[in-house]
Amino acid sequence: MNRLIACLLLFASLCAGSARAAMDPALLAGLAADESDDKIAAIAKVAALADADALRVLVAMSKDNLMIAGDKFYIADGDKLSDAATGAELSARPDGLDSLTINNRVRSALDSALAGLRLFSPNRDKRYAAARELQDSADAALLPLIERALKSEQDAEIRTLLQYAQAVANLQNADAAVRLEAAKALSSSSNPSIKSTLLSRLQKQGDSYAEADEKVRAEIADSIKQIDKRLARADAIARVFTGVSLGSILLLAALGLAITYGVMGVINMAHGELLMVGAYSAYFMQGVFRAHWPDSTDWYLVAAVPLAFFAAAAVGVLMERTVIRFLYGRPLETLLATWGLSLVLIQAARVLFGAQNVEVANPGWMSGAIEVLPNVVLPWNRIVIIGFAGFVLSLVWLLMNRTRLGMFVRAVTQNRAMAGCVGVPTARIDTLAFAIGAGIAGLGGLALSQIANVGPDMGQGYIVDSFMVVVLGGVGQLAGAVWAALGLGVASKFLEGWTGAVIAKILVLVFIIVFIQKRPQGLFALKGRFVES
Amino acid sequence: MKRRSFVKALALSASIAAIGATSFAAHAADTIKVGILHSLSGTMAISETALKETALMTIDEINAAGGVMGKKLEPVVVDPASNWPLFAEKARQLISQDKVAVVFGCWTSVSRKSVLPVFKELNGLLFYPVQYEGEELEKNVFYTGAAPNQQAIPAVEYLMSKDGGSAKRFVLLGTDYVYPRTTNKILRAFLKSKGVAEADIMEDYTPFGHSDYQTIIAKIKKFASEGKKTAVISTINGDSNVPFYKELGNAGLKATDVPVVAFSVGEEELRGVDTKPLVGHLAAWNYFMSLKNAENDAFVKKYKDWAVKAKLPNADKVVTNDPMEATYVGIHMWKQAVEKAKSTDTDKVIAAMGGQTYKAPSGFTLTMDKTNHHLHKPVYIGEIRADGQFNVVWKTKEPIRAQPWSPFIPGNESKQKL
């Protein structure tokens, strides 16, 4: 945005060569009116100038940068201050400088006015954004501008949007034939806001409809039906995405447990705290980057990946060596001991980082979203996490199935005595496998830090979900964990859509209880003698 | 079950040990003990930690000015850890073991409800600094936050006004517990009285600590595309607000399209969020840090100095908010009442509280109502700015009297004079 202002200032200074008059102060004075109605009228007047000055003033106003001192107006840009009317930079700050506040109503008037001005920008992206802004909010006042833009616009995508904008503005036309045409033109849109605009024409005000002509009403209803069809499809896509996104998070949280509990049979109640260690690694790395490499803060997350893995793995080794290895084969004692360990870890985090949640910012490349369809917006942080879950999953699969260590781990789980007899160092394998499980939990925590709150007891919220995934998937099976996580994710998102988050959570738990009763071995059961033994 | 009681026992013993350490020096000196009961861990810590700091700062300020009736105040801080039953245990401990004269504490209504029986039984005194749902008037409690008619109702009226966007459809979104449920019940009745149809109201709740708001945002978007201007009224509490606002920003739901007005989100909760995509979303409170008046300037400066002195994390970036102001006003009013009553006895202080006034950072002289234990408060509605502060876009001309028993709930007709 600052670049835009800079461009505009440059443009303004180029124009200044031709002895340009400053903006009329009376025009500006209207912007500081008390009533929103007067402010909006003043904005329309300024916008009607349609020059660089008007754009500069309106951009400043929409960003809360337009200042007033006495009856003079100024534009703030960081520390710099310039006169709003002339654009000349000021050296001293005038007394009583105060920013001009606007409310949402004024802001949306400003947005439309700015969009109108930007329709003729040489920059394609800006024109596109302007046309998008106008497509559902255009009114008769903007119509001449839109029609002029349509004449010169070459880009097909922008043209479509402008045609929608034109049609939306024409919905208010006095001529019923024009309105009919407009209603028809809008049927090809898939934008919920346009649907909303159309619906508002069908509403009754007193005894009469907002749209007086019956034919036009029928046409509008028809257009709405067509838009609805497209919206429903997009809705399904969005739901599946949110489900997969939740599934990927469940998977990341549960994958480490799938190794420690699923493969090794350790009921690790401190699993959630291993996630927490991973999340705090992200926080720690962020602090290091902010202090030492402030320019590349955005990449702290990449650097945090190995840290999260090794920090959590180190905690895991410590746990295994000092406590768990004495308790193999005694699930109840393991449960109590690891639960005690979880309390110790929570308290340690409180002492080290404080009891309050810490702020872990999304890096720039994970903020924002891509718009696949007008009502399907996929946030970057979730897309990255889905990708990351795939990456971690393939890593685990390779490790377990393609390396010597993985083979040893499988051998030890299947028959410990026999593996020991043929020379597998079982104790060391136990430690290593536990460390890997813990490290993967750390990676899961790293991902969680990007969407959930990071605090000492964050792990408590995931321990139940993690066990749910592993138990549902079938103990000892990675593939089971994957299907269970995705299934639970999609199922709870679809349920949430119908019943709300609270009931959905209960329903999912009920489902799992019933399922485990009917099929205690989970979705995928290992076949073989050792399971029965 | 075993696990739970074990946690409690562990937490209790740990805190008893901590209390023992802090109150060691107290027995000899002539002090008045003051209890501070705010969650310093768990889901509510995001909001409540700052209130503990404000209380400590105010006590420090009063002590520096000579204390109360010549005695220094001695704070006793406990951590009920966002665990509602633990609130009651800690309250009991403060009153019967530590013998505090007054307790400043609680944020969520469920925590207040859980300590109420304790305060009634032991005849303690609680100052509750947060806006709440009303429907309560206890002799042992002074409410320095807003009742619904001092926050929720004016905010909805603003949304329905022309400047607020003339909203016709409403999403009532909250955390699943007593405050959002009751507030939404009141708001539903209020909206109906304004002619809003049942079909134009959507109510949705999430559990405490919920962190996945994708579905809800998608639902709001869908609900908003039905031809009428839609607004969201959020009573989400605690750290769920961070993922909620993050998702809101990522999903590109702009305030000019669907404004979200929040009742439990202030400067403090927004500290961990990138507020640039949230510009224009609203909050209704009785105080904002951005208010310009001499009392507020002094209050903000005091708190910033305190943050440096107490070595709070990110001390250069601390903010003040409405419940902090209410805590500050509450402690000062309690001091005035004690001085008027010349005693810290609960009943005498309660009698002296009615009619107390204090020139508050909200820019008005606030009065404790003579009968209903609530403050007369001004109402401000603010829009979020890019820097995480609020622009006041609407305010009342003067403080308004609280109606703890909302006239919009049937059965409350006889209680309007309280």
Q: What is the pLDDT of residue A487?
A: 92
Residue A214 touches chain B, beta carbons under 8 Å: no
**Domain ranges in chain A?**
2-106, 119-212, 234-532
Task: Tell me how far the alpha carbon of residue A280 is from its chain's centroid.
Answer: 21
Least confident of A144-158, A515-529, B234-248, B402-416: A515-529
| CATH, range B149-290+380-415 | 3.40.50.2300
Instruction: Give CA–CA dist B326/B366, Å, rounded.
Output: 10
User: At residue B322, does pLDDT exceed 90?
Assistant: yes
* Cross-chain Cβ contact B280/A381 below 8 Å: no
Q: What is the mean pLDDT of residues A56-68?
A: 88
Over 90: is that where the pLDDT of B185 sits? yes
Per-residue pLDDT at B289: 95
> What residues of chain A lie within 8 A of the CB of B222, using their CB?
192, 235, 375
B21: left (phi over 0), alpha (psi -120 to 50) or beta: alpha
pLDDT at A10 over 70: no
Q: Among A242, A357, A377, which residue's Cα sits nearest to residue B49?
A: A357
Residues of B in contact with A246 (CB under 8 A): 212, 214
Measured CA to CA, the distance from residue A241 to residue B218 in angstroms comes to: 12
B42 Cα to chain A: minimum distance (Å):
7
Could you tell me which chain A residue has the CA closest to the CA of B226?
A196
What is the model's pLDDT at position A9?
A: 44
Name the residue of chain B whose CA is nearest to A1's CA: B276
Contact A496 B256 (CB under 8 A): no
**Does B224 sit within 8 Å of A196, measured CB to CB?**
yes
pLDDT at B380 over 50: yes
For residue A198, the distance in angstroms to the closest alpha carbon of chain B comes to 7
Cβ separation of B251 and A357 shorter than 8 Å?
no
| Per-residue pLDDT at B10 | 52
pLDDT of residue B7: 55
Q: Is the pLDDT of residue B29 over 80?
A: no
Question: In the predicted model, is pLDDT for residue A497 greater than 90?
Answer: no
| Other C-beta atoms lying within 10 Å of the C-beta of residue B70 | 7
Q: Which residues of B touch A232 (CB under 8 A)?
A: none
Say yes or no: do domains B2-146+297-304+323-363 and B149-290+380-415 share a fold.
yes
Verify whether the Cβ–Cβ distance B227 to A381 is below 8 Å: no
B164–A104 CB contact, under 8 Å: yes
* Contact residues, chain B, for A357 at CB < 8 Å: 45-46, 239, 242, 272
Amino acid at A310: F
User: What CATH class does B2-146+297-304+323-363 carry?
Assistant: alpha beta
Amino acid residing at A330: R
Taking only residues 245 to 274 of chain A, the set having a beta carbon closer than 8 angstroms to any beta carbon of chain B reads 245-246, 249
Band (pLDDT 50/70/90 cuts) for residue B21 is: very low
Buried (b) or exposed (e) across A441-479, using 16+ Cβ within 10 A?
A: bbbbbbbbbbbbbbbbbbbbbbbebbbbbbbbbbbbbbe
**Mean per-residue pLDDT, A153-181:** 89
Check pLDDT > 80 for residue B307.
yes
C-alpha to C-alpha distance for A349 and A224, rounded to whole angstroms: 54
**Residue B84 backbone dihedrals phi, psi, to 5 degrees:** -60, -45
Of residues B45, B227, B279, nearest to A357 (C-beta): B45
pLDDT at B316 over 70: yes
pLDDT at A533 over 50: no
Does pLDDT of B162 surpass 80? yes
Distances (CA, A) of A246 to A197, A290, A465, A502, B156: 33, 30, 11, 16, 34
pLDDT of residue A96: 78
Can you tell me the distance from the alpha carbon of B79 to that of A237, in angstroms, rounded to the nearest whole number?
A: 45
Q: Which of A430-444, A516-530, B19-33, B63-77 has the lowest mean pLDDT?
A: B19-33
Contact B216 A501 (CB under 8 A): yes
Q: Do the beta carbons of residue A350 and residue A456 sit within 8 Å?
A: yes
Mark yes or no for CB contact B215/A497 under 8 Å: yes
For the segment B74-103, the average pLDDT, to the nearest whole number, is 95
* Whole-angstrom distance, CA of residue B344 vs CA of residue B33: 10
* A463-467, B249-253, B390-394: which is most confident: B390-394
Query: Choosing among A198, A356, A358, which should be mutated to test the B contact, i.e. which has the most B CBs within 10 A?
Result: A356
Residue of A nearest to B81 (CA): A355
A&B contacts, CB < 8 Å: 160
Confidence (pLDDT) at B26: 43
With an 8 Å Cβ cutoff, is A65 touching chain B?
no
Residue B45 has what pLDDT? Answer: 85
What pLDDT is attached to residue B9? 54
Facing residue for A502 by CB, picked from B42, B176, B227: B176
pLDDT band, very low/low/confident/very high, at A21 (cuts 50, 70, 90): low
Q: What is the mean pLDDT of residues A488-511?
A: 88
- Of all residues in chain B, the one with the smallest CA distance to A335 is B3
Token pair belonging to B317: 């970036």
Cβ–Cβ gap B225/A239 under 8 Å: no
Residues 6+ apart with CB under 8 A from B319: B267, B268, B271, B289, B388, B389
The mean of the pLDDT values for chain A is: 85
Residue B208 banded pLDDT, cuts 50, 70, 90: confident
> Which residues of chain A from 432 to 471 reach within 8 Å of chain B, CB to CB?
451-453, 455-457, 461
Instruction: Tell if the CB–CB gap between A101 and B391 is shorter than 8 Å.
Output: yes
**Residue predicted with more confidence, B242 or A526:** B242
Mean pLDDT of B199-216: 90
- CB distance B251–A379 less than 8 Å? yes
For the segment A99-151, what is each residue's pLDDT rounded down to a tens digit? 888 889 999 889 888 988 888 888 888 898 888 888 888 888 888 888 888 88
Looking at beta carbons, which residues of chain B come within 8 Å of A452? 211, 243
- Mean of the pLDDT values across residues A3-24? 49
Inform me whether the pLDDT recorded for A467 exceeds 80: yes
Residues B58, B71: Cα–Cα separation, whole Å: 15
Beta strands in A10-133 (DSSP E): 66-69, 72-77, 80-83, 89-90, 98-99
Find the residue in A nearest to B50 (Cα): A356
**In the predicted model, what is the mean pLDDT of residues A467-481?**
83
Chain B residue numbers with beta carbons less than 8 Å from the beta carbon of A493 are: 214-215
If you measure CA to CA, which chain A residue comes closest to B44?
A356
CB atoms within 10 A of CB A84: 26
B418–chain A nearest CA distance, Å: 36
Any idea where the domains of chain B sit in the sequence? Answer: 2-146+297-304+323-363, 149-290+380-415
The fraction of chain A above a pLDDT of 90, given in percent, is 27
Residue whose token pair is 């999260």: A308
- Maximum average pLDDT range among A55-59, A372-376, A510-514, B375-379: B375-379
Write the residue in A105, A452, A493 that is nearest to B165 by C-beta: A105
Indicate the pLDDT class of residue B3, thresholds 50, 70 and 90: low
Q: pLDDT digits over B221-267, tens only?
A: 889 988 889 999 999 988 889 889 988 888 878 898 899 999 999 99
Q: What is the pLDDT of residue B399?
A: 95
Asked if A356 is an interface residue toward chain B (Cβ–Cβ < 8 A), one would say: yes
Q: So what's the ipTM on this one?
A: 0.82
Q: Tell me the per-residue pLDDT of A332-350, one tens digit each, with 9 for 90 and over.
A: 888 999 999 999 999 999 8
pTM: 0.84
Which of A103, A249, A359 is facing B393, going by the closest CB pair?
A: A103
pLDDT > 70: percent of chain B: 93
Pick from B42, B176, B383: which is nearest to A103 by CB? Answer: B383
The predicted structure's pLDDT at residue A243? 92
- Give the CATH number of domain A234-532; options: 3.90.25, 1.10.3470, 1.20.140, 1.10.10: 1.10.3470
The residue-averaged pLDDT of A173-197 equals 88
* pLDDT at site B360: 95
- Nearest Cα of chain B lies from the Cα of A323 at a distance, in angstroms, of 19
Q: What is the pLDDT of residue A410?
A: 84
All residues of chain A having their beta carbon less than 8 Å from the beta carbon of residue B386 are: 63-64
Q: Do B274 and A198 touch (CB under 8 A)?
A: no
Determine the average pLDDT of the residues in B155-179: 94
Distance CA A189, CA B186 (A): 39
In chain B, which residue's Cα lies nearest the Cα of A378? Answer: B251
Which of A238, A239, A369 shows the shortest C-beta gap to B250?
A: A369
Local confidence band at A529 (pLDDT 50, 70, 90 cut-offs): very low
Contacting residues of A for B392, CB less than 8 Å apart: 101
Find which of A36, A103, A451 to mutate to test the B interface (most B CBs within 10 Å of its CB). Answer: A103
Do A416 and A427 form a contact (C-beta atoms < 8 A)?
no
Copy the structure tokens of residue B121: 């039984």
Q: Indicate whether B5 pLDDT > 70.
A: no
